[in-house]
Amino acid sequence: MIPDQSVLASAGPLAARTERLWWFSFWVAAGVYVLTMGFLVWSIARARRRARDGEPMAAGSDQRMTRAVSYGSGATVVILLLFLGFDLSVGRTLSPIPSKRPLTIEVAGHQWWWEATYADTSAHGRFTTANEVHIPVGEPVLFLLEARDVIHSIWVPNLAGKKDLVPGYTTSFWLQADTAGVYRGQCAEFCGTQHAKMAMFIVAEPRAKFDAWVANQREPAKTPTDESAQRGKEVFVTSSCAMCHSIEGTEAGSKVGPDLTHLASRSTIAAGTLPNTRSALSNWIRDAQASKPGVKMPPTALAPRDLAALLTYLEGLK
Ligand code: CUA
């Protein structure tokens, strides 16, 4: 179940602090609003009553007015300083990651999808996936961010604030999920026509489940055994698919598009645009432009038998 994508439904320590700041600002602003409106209504009522009774302005009202404005300005300065202080203190607690050797994920923004590489000290431990990032519950996770084309911004409101991804420059941020669940994130910086369809899912799960996921992702794709899937693999590596995508364990090794080694383990395709079903995948391969106009993936014309075989192969990439 996917909780509402909202800063007001925090599921981790960073988002919880930001949410507290939000509620603090909200209640202070609400209090100021109610007080101001109260004074306004009161003064209008008083002026009307005076006008009706033909009462003259009280002596010394000019000085009283000056005093009221001074008090009001003083209160405004105090409230703004309070906001500033709280804001800075929250900002300070957000920056340092409370772990010496955190799980590190390198995330690269592309038009319009997310590449995620799980960094590991050993070369064989590294693996790459796309648009769906698994993390263990209750552990801080470090993200190293880069952009491959234009500026993007990562935002998973239930877990943390935004962070920009800038071409040629590595930025970083961290987050932590304290409740298991699937959290929707999205690009928060306009990056071209399909900016709105650049979603990412953070799947927070218990450590054991996460470890099992990692172990599976590290494996190269299984060699298909049935005839149709074998044919599908051949279609993949000999057609235009292999010019942009990788599948570990095959000759396809291009990094232009998302890594498809474990495509079938993801719940969506096209960065959260479509469900990962056979029919959606089929439409996507034939004409990606129809569901995501402007996307870099060109239409792929395949004979119906080849397309069916390819789909069977891709569905087997668990
Ligand atoms: Cu990437 Cu907006």
C-alpha 68 to ligand 1 mean position (Å): 49
- Peptide bond before 112: cis, by omega within 30 degrees of 0? yes
Structure confidence at residue 1 (pLDDT) = 58
Q: Which residues, in sequence order, are CB contacts of 314 under 8 Å at separation 6+? A: 232, 236, 260, 263, 264, 281
Structure confidence at residue 54 (pLDDT) = 82
Q: Which residues, in sequence order, are CB contacts of 229 under 8 Å at separation 6+? A: 309, 312, 313, 316
Question: Ligand 1 within 6 A of 198 CB?
Answer: yes
Phi-psi region for residue 127, left (φ > 0), alpha (ψ -120 to 50) or beta?
beta
Same structural domain for residues 64 and 103? yes
Question: Ligand 1 within 6 A of 187 CB?
Answer: yes
Structure confidence at residue 63 (pLDDT) = 87
C-alpha 172 to ligand 1 mean position (Å): 17
Q: Among 280, 284, 250, which Cα is nearest to 267's?
A: 280
Same structural domain for residues 242 and 141? no
2 in a domain, yes or no?
yes
Give the largest CA-CA distance in the chain: 100
Question: In which domain, by residue range, is 303 found?
Answer: 227-315
Ligand 1 atom 1, closest CA: 152
Same structural domain for residues 104 and 193? yes
Residue 3 corresponds to which tokens in the numbers above?
Answer: 């909780």
**Could you list the mean pLDDT of each consecutive 10-residue stretch along the chain, which spans 318 residues?**
82 91 94 94 91 78 87 93 92 82 93 93 86 95 94 95 94 93 95 95 96 93 90 91 92 91 93 93 93 92 91 92
CA 50 to CA 29: how far, in whole Å?
A: 31
Same structural domain for residues 4 and 142? yes
Q: Considering 183, 216, 249, which residue would you say is the last residue of a domain?
A: 216
Question: Ligand 1 within 6 A of 221 CB?
Answer: no
C-alpha 40 to ligand 1 mean position (Å): 45
Q: The domain that contains 292 carries what CATH number?
A: 2.60.40.420
> What angle separates helix 61-94 from helix 13-53, to the nearest 10 degrees?
170
111 in a domain, yes or no?
yes
Q: Considering 216, 242, 259, which residue would you say is the last residue of a domain?
A: 216
Same structural domain for residues 102 and 63? yes
Structure confidence at residue 214 (pLDDT) = 94
- Give the neighbor-by-neighbor strand order of the sheet with 103-110: 127-130, 113-118, 103-110, 141-147, 171-175
DSSP-assigned letters across all residues of 248-298: TTSS-B--SS---TTGGGSSEETTTTEES-HHHHHHHHH-HHHHSTT-SPP
Question: Ligand 1 within 6 A of 152 CB?
Answer: yes
Q: Considering 192, 216, 240, which residue would you say is the last residue of a domain?
A: 216
Tell me the pLDDT tens digit for each residue of 195-216. 999 999 999 999 999 999 999 9
Same structural domain for residues 184 and 69? yes
C-alpha 294 to ligand 1 mean position (Å): 13
Contact 138, 181 (CB under 8 A): no
| pTM listed for this prediction | 0.87
Question: Ligand 1 within 6 A of 71 CB?
Answer: no
CA 316 to CA 254: how far, in whole Å?
A: 20
Structure confidence at residue 2 (pLDDT) = 66
CA 88 to CA 301: how far, in whole Å?
A: 56
Same structural domain for residues 280 and 191? no
Q: Identify the DSSP state of 31.
A: H
221 in a domain, yes or no?
no
Total domains present in the chain: 2
